[in-house]
Amino acid sequence: MTTQRHQFNEWLAVAGSVVLFLMAIPVFAVLIFVLRAALLAGAILGLGTGVALYVTSRRFRVWLNTFTEQVETYKGLRLSSDVAMHSGHGWARMIGAEVMVGADDLLPAVLGPVQRVEMPPVGQHVARGEMLFQLRRGDRSVAVPSPMDGIVVTNNEVLEREPGLVNADPFRRGWAVMLRSEPGVARDWNGLRRGQEAGAWFRGEVDRLLAAVQNDGGAVLTMADGGAVTRDFYMHIDDGAWRRVKETLGDRS
């Protein structure tokens, strides 16, 4: 009798479990439908928020661009893949209707640790090829021409406190000037080097730099590794080599 009652209780528990499971199926279905709708609504809201931030916030546009950056390194110097290069070693990055401009990795490498960045006043109009800003260390300086026509919208005020960012992070935190592009921006943009063309040009510029410095017998000994631009490279550029370097890296657009 006890055994039969025990078996009955087991069958009753199994039956109850099956019933509960069957009752739970529509509940789970409703939850999945609700969660799917919530996830879809969240995705739409997130996309809309992202678009709004991209349109209204310069900081967000700059932050977003950091995810697409790829950096090529050649003989110790870097080039970002998402910028367009001007012959005067200034780079440009389109951010909405504005153009972020900075100096490439080669200029601060030959100048050494940048001590001051001299930037134009906000509101100034600059033409393509005109000097936009200067990098200075001691009595040496290099001028960076504007890669395109535009009006100065803002300067990177952080460089007033940390000019060394031009050396440490030239294509991101070390940017110098933001321009508002003008109607001829398509013409100017098409006149810049991008992608593989920019990479090939940059590698050629690095080779020309090394050749210019190696013409000075005293600097050859610093390149026993076969030729690379090291952090102390600038220390081996005397006044004679400095003049040759500036001539070598001059704008030839």
Query: Distance between CA atoms of 59 and 65, rounded to whole angstroms?
Result: 10
Q: Where are the domains of the chain?
A: 1-56, 81-193, 198-248
The CA distances from residue 32 to 8, 21, 56, in Å, are 36, 16, 36
pLDDT, tens only, 59-102: 555 555 555 558 889 999 999 999 999 999 999 999 988 999 99
Mean pLDDT of the chain: 82
53 band by pLDDT with thresholds 50, 70 and 90: low
Query: Distance between CA atoms of 253 and 245, rounded to whole angstroms?
Result: 17
CATH architecture of the domain 81-193 equals Beta Barrel (2.40)
User: What contacts 124, CB < 8 A, 6 or more positions away?
Assistant: 151, 152
Highest mean pLDDT among 32-36, 164-168, 221-225: 164-168
pLDDT, tens only, 222-241: 444 456 888 899 998 999 88
Contact 189, 148 (CB under 8 A): yes
Residue-level pLDDT at 213: 84
* pTM of the complete model: 0.70
Other Cβ atoms within 10 Å of 191 Cβ, number: 15
Query: Distance between CA atoms of 153 and 179, rounded to whole angstroms?
Result: 5
Looking at residue 193, what DSSP letter applies? B
